[in-house]
Homo-oligomer: A and B are copies of this chain.
Amino acid sequence: MLYLIGLGLNNEKDITVNGLEVVQRAERVYLEAYTAILMVGKDKLEAFYGRDVIIADRELVESSSGQILLDADTKDIAFLVVGDPLGATTHTDLLLRARNLSIPTRTIHNASIMTAIASTGLQLYSFGQTLSMVFFTPEWRPSSWYDRLIENAALGLHTLVLLDIKVKEMDLHALARRVGKYGKPRFMTVAECARQMIEIEEEREEGVCGPDTLVVGVARLGTETQKIVSGTLAELAEVDMGEPLHSLVVVGKKCHELEKDYVREFAVSRENWDRAWDNRGYGGL
Contact = CB atoms under 8 A, between A and B. Distances in A.
A92 to B, nearest CB: 6
A155 B265 CA distance: 33
Given A107-B119, A115-B109, A116-B84, A124 B13 contact: no
Given A115-B86, A116-B86, A16 B18 contact: no
A15 B16 contact: yes
A15 B119 CA distance: 19
A258 to B, nearest CB: 7
Contacts of A9: 109
B118 A115 contact: no
A124 B17 contact: no
Given A16-B8, A17-B14, A121 B109 contact: no
Contacts of A90: 118, 123-124
Nearest to A21: B13
A99 interface: yes
A123 B155 CA distance: 21
A115 B4 CA distance: 14
Contact of A129 (B109, B132, B155, B222): B155
Interface in A110-157: 110-112, 114-116, 118-119, 121, 123-132, 151, 155, 157
Given A111-B84, A119-B107, A129-B155, A96 B262 contact: yes
Given A8-B109, A129-B157, A130-B124, A17 B15 contact: yes
